[in-house]
A and B are shown apart, each in its own frame.
Chain A
């Protein structure tokens, strides 16, 4: 099948390895991958800040680019939720309302696409480390993704998954929230990091690079040994 891969703006600029891993995995499964160069951002920052007109300015060309896609795969639960859940709301009672709904129904978050759509559980990956999984809130609560990443991690050779008590607690990133309320955001991140550390994991794995950016930022500043890594990168390790 032909898969249109939507690489979120911060993955493009800051975490290319996660995007590259997704391409390698999807191509390795024999699918054709497209990455529309004209897509940069889903429009979530202005949308979440209440600037819906400005969000539509960013999102309308995205709809146009995804119009003919057979399947849209997004490498982030958060941007995935934006396209799948919030585009229909953002474009409700606009001429693109129908298009937004159609694209929503063809859009998948990366791990959910592998497990839910393709039925893949074992990618033959090896990652001999103790890890814990962070559920990004958008993936977990907007898209209802809980099992897929764990199923995939469960088949990675040598990997030991240890759940943390605060797995479902927000890491404190929250997009512009992290900059508008840095102290609250930091406190939340500290709670999360402490919970991850309790598991004795070497890595915090997540399907959302934005959460990981926040957590890694805190961990690096505090000189903590635990590292962060995107799920796709783990799954691409052979």
Chain B
């Protein structure tokens, strides 16, 4: 078992029994579900919208070279500096170099999962820089020195009481249980940072090939300020974010909001096409875009799972996933958690190290059903399982399945196996749930059904 798998099991065991966590997540997602369903119902045809979104993403991802070149050419023509990074290391080095060139000391950063993916903050902090996350949820988890709990709701696992204590401890604020007051405390702290930061770092939700723009979806205005005030702006994005046309956003912006937060459209949806242009009064003098591969091309090469690159990071699959809801976001130990994380992490970080995430699923398919861009998520989990076994089968598990196949194909042996099971039942009852119980994994929390004397096949044979 990989160390990652052992960690996952350890944390999953604790979290699954944590009724307080279960309740917090259920409450938080309860309101989301109602809003999401209302927003979906407002579409003239949600399924039609999903289909179109899938078609547009297919077009973009399956002609990625063409659209990337178009995107970059348009950006460069308007003075944006475009950098290409094959690995996280390269991306970090590019950004550190920009920081050094600008002699920057203070950095303000709006939410970007890609930055989490390459541990950008760690690298910047090690270089002696002050980096402040300015999305409220990200700001909160940064103060706690922990990773975002959820790709859209980073601090969803915390109560207002915990946040108040955190702010008292870290910011010296007065205790309060009012979410509005807590928000205003963060607003005041972050206002100062916006005004003094040398560099603003953002992510991107979409990249428009046709016009050479990125699009950022947010609610708080933090990304708007990040892209308006500092003299230098840096955007880090995965190469798969491209959409062919500007007008495609007419579909994707409301779909992302519907599934992400249950809004018709989020508060700010902003397209940036360059640094400050001649005649413009504000905005960054320089804009750098870092295009990150970091194993995305490997996922692209897997035709069977290529549609995983359609992902718009709405988080909807996490929200409906009964595994996520019971083990929580941190248990995954990955940047991307939930079903999409279980699908892509093996591609991004190694199948054998991360195959346990694909196994940790009941394959219920709620994720696939909800995905706005129709990624075949739960079937990809099956494919990851198959690929993992192909690469490195577990000796005893394979042996067990071979034995199972041998017995299942021979009715006489099958009948004996059933009889043995029935005979063993009283013995098993004696050791139920203990270390000696061969069915311990089941019987620690669940009873086994009593095995009747007459099986169906016995009945069938006898009645003839």
Given a CB threshold of 8 Å, the question of whether A touches B is answered with: yes
In the assembled complex, which residues on chain B have CB atoms less than 8 Å from the CB atom of A184?
Answer: 12, 16, 323, 326-327, 360
Cβ < 8 Å to B, chain A residues 1-51? 7, 9, 11-17, 19-20, 23, 35, 37-38, 40-41, 43, 45-51
- The distance from the CB of B445 to the nearest CB of chain A, in whole angstroms, is 4
Contact B441 A46 (CB under 8 A): no
B159 interfacial by beta-carbon distance below 8 Å: no
Closest to B358 in A: A50
Contact A137 B359 (CB under 8 A): no
Contact A16 B447 (CB under 8 A): no
Contact B441 A137 (CB under 8 A): no
* Interface size classification for chain A: 35 or more
Interface string of B259-297 (1 = CB under 8 A from A): 000000000000000000000000000000000000000
With contact pairs A45-B404, A50-B389, A169-B322 given, residues A178 and B442 touching in the complex (Cβ less than 8 Å)? yes
A97 interfacial by beta-carbon distance below 8 Å: no
B169 interfacial by beta-carbon distance below 8 Å: no
With contact pairs A137-B362, A182-B445, A183-B16 given, residues A49 and B397 touching in the complex (Cβ less than 8 Å)? yes
Contact B446 A189 (CB under 8 A): yes
- The distance from the CB of B385 to the nearest CB of chain A, in whole angstroms, is 3
Q: Which of B100-108, B245-253, B449-457 contacts A (4 or more CB under 8 A)?
A: B449-457
A174 interfacial by beta-carbon distance below 8 Å: yes
Interface string of A150-184 (1 = CB under 8 A from B): 00000000000000000011101111011111111
- The distance from the CB of B150 to the nearest CB of chain A, in whole angstroms, is 18
In the assembled complex, which residues on chain A have CB atoms less than 8 Å from the CB atom of B449?
Answer: 14-15, 213, 216-217
Residue with the highest number of chain A CB atoms closer than 10 Å, among B365, B452, B456, B459:
B456
**How far, in angstroms, from A38 to B310 measured CA to CA in the complex?**
44
Interface string of B392-410 (1 = CB under 8 A from A): 0100011001101101110
Contact A174 B363 (CB under 8 A): yes
With contact pairs A46-B405, A168-B366, A218-B446 given, residues A180 and B326 touching in the complex (Cβ less than 8 Å)? no
Contact A13 B460 (CB under 8 A): no
**How far, in angstroms, from A57 to B403 measured CA to CA in the complex?**
11
* Interface size classification for chain B: 35 or more
Which of A23, A187, A213, A214 is within 8 Å of B326, CB to CB?
A187
A-B pair count, CB < 8 Å, reads 186
- The distance from the CB of A20 to the nearest CB of chain B, in whole angstroms, is 6
Contact B460 A54 (CB under 8 A): no
- The distance from the CB of A184 to the nearest CB of chain B, in whole angstroms, is 5
In the assembled complex, which residues on chain B have CB atoms less than 8 Å from the CB atom of A38?
Answer: 411
Contact A54 B398 (CB under 8 A): yes
Which of B388, B408, B442 is within 8 Å of A182, CB to CB?
B442
B368 interfacial by beta-carbon distance below 8 Å: yes
**How far, in angstroms, from A184 to B454 measured CA to CA in the complex?**
33
Contact A221 B385 (CB under 8 A): no
Contact A141 B385 (CB under 8 A): no
In the assembled complex, which residues on chain B have CB atoms less than 8 Å from the CB atom of A17?
Answer: 452
In the assembled complex, which residues on chain A have CB atoms less than 8 Å from the CB atom of B458?
Answer: 16
With contact pairs A40-B408, A40-B411, A181-B12 given, residues A54 and B447 touching in the complex (Cβ less than 8 Å)? no
Interface string of B322-358 (1 = CB under 8 A from A): 1101110000000000000000000000000000000
Which of A12, A54, A58, A183 is within 8 Å of B456, CB to CB?
A12
Interface string of B1-42 (1 = CB under 8 A from A): 000000001001100110000100000000000000000000
- The distance from the CB of B386 to the nearest CB of chain A, in whole angstroms, is 5
B168 interfacial by beta-carbon distance below 8 Å: no
A202 interfacial by beta-carbon distance below 8 Å: no
Closest to B13 in A: A183
B66 interfacial by beta-carbon distance below 8 Å: no
Closest to A182 in B: B441
B86 interfacial by beta-carbon distance below 8 Å: no
Query: Chain A interface mostly helix, strand, loop or mixed?
Result: helix
Contact B418 A13 (CB under 8 A): yes
With contact pairs A178-B442, A181-B12 given, residues A14 and B361 touching in the complex (Cβ less than 8 Å)? no
A98 interfacial by beta-carbon distance below 8 Å: no
**How far, in angstroms, from A169 to B393 measured CA to CA in the complex?**
31
Contact A35 B361 (CB under 8 A): no
B369 interfacial by beta-carbon distance below 8 Å: yes
**How far, in angstroms, from A186 to B409 measured CA to CA in the complex?**
32
**How far, in angstroms, from A138 to B418 measured CA to CA in the complex?**
26
Contact B441 A187 (CB under 8 A): no
Contact A58 B404 (CB under 8 A): yes
**How far, in angstroms, from A43 to B408 measured CA to CA in the complex?**
9
A220 interfacial by beta-carbon distance below 8 Å: yes
With contact pairs A49-B397, A57-B405 given, residues A191 and B322 touching in the complex (Cβ less than 8 Å)? yes
Contact A49 B441 (CB under 8 A): no
**How far, in angstroms, from A10 to B445 measured CA to CA in the complex?**
20
In the assembled complex, which residues on chain A have CB atoms less than 8 Å from the CB atom of B13?
Answer: 183
Closest to A47 in B: B382
In the assembled complex, which residues on chain B have CB atoms less than 8 Å from the CB atom of A132?
Answer: none
Contact A16 B452 (CB under 8 A): yes
Contact B365 A141 (CB under 8 A): yes
- The distance from the CB of A196 to the nearest CB of chain B, in whole angstroms, is 15
B43 interfacial by beta-carbon distance below 8 Å: no
Contact B411 A179 (CB under 8 A): no
A61 interfacial by beta-carbon distance below 8 Å: yes
**How far, in angstroms, from A30 to B446 measured CA to CA in the complex?**
40
**How far, in angstroms, from A90 to B276 measured CA to CA in the complex?**
56
- The distance from the CB of A115 to the nearest CB of chain B, in whole angstroms, is 22
Contact A170 B362 (CB under 8 A): yes
Which of B398, B414, B451, B459 is within 8 Å of A40, CB to CB?
B414
In the assembled complex, which residues on chain B have CB atoms less than 8 Å from the CB atom of A20?
Answer: 456, 459
A142 interfacial by beta-carbon distance below 8 Å: yes
Residues of B within 8 A of A (CB): 9, 12-13, 16-17, 22, 322-323, 325-327, 359-366, 368-369, 382, 384-390, 393, 397-398, 401-402, 404-405, 407-409, 411, 414, 418, 421, 441-442, 444-449, 451-452, 454-461
Query: Could you write out 8 A-B pairs with CB less than 8 Å apart?
Result: A12-B456, A13-B418, A20-B459, A35-B456, A49-B397, A57-B409, A187-B326, A217-B449
User: Beyond A35-B456, A168-B366: 15 further Cβ-contacts under 8 Å?
Assistant: A13-B418, A16-B459, A20-B459, A50-B387, A50-B388, A57-B405, A141-B365, A169-B364, A169-B366, A180-B359, A180-B360, A181-B9, A187-B326, A217-B446, A220-B447
In the A-B complex, the 7 residue pairs with the closest CB atoms:
A174-B362, A217-B446, A50-B385, A170-B364, A50-B389, A141-B365, A137-B364
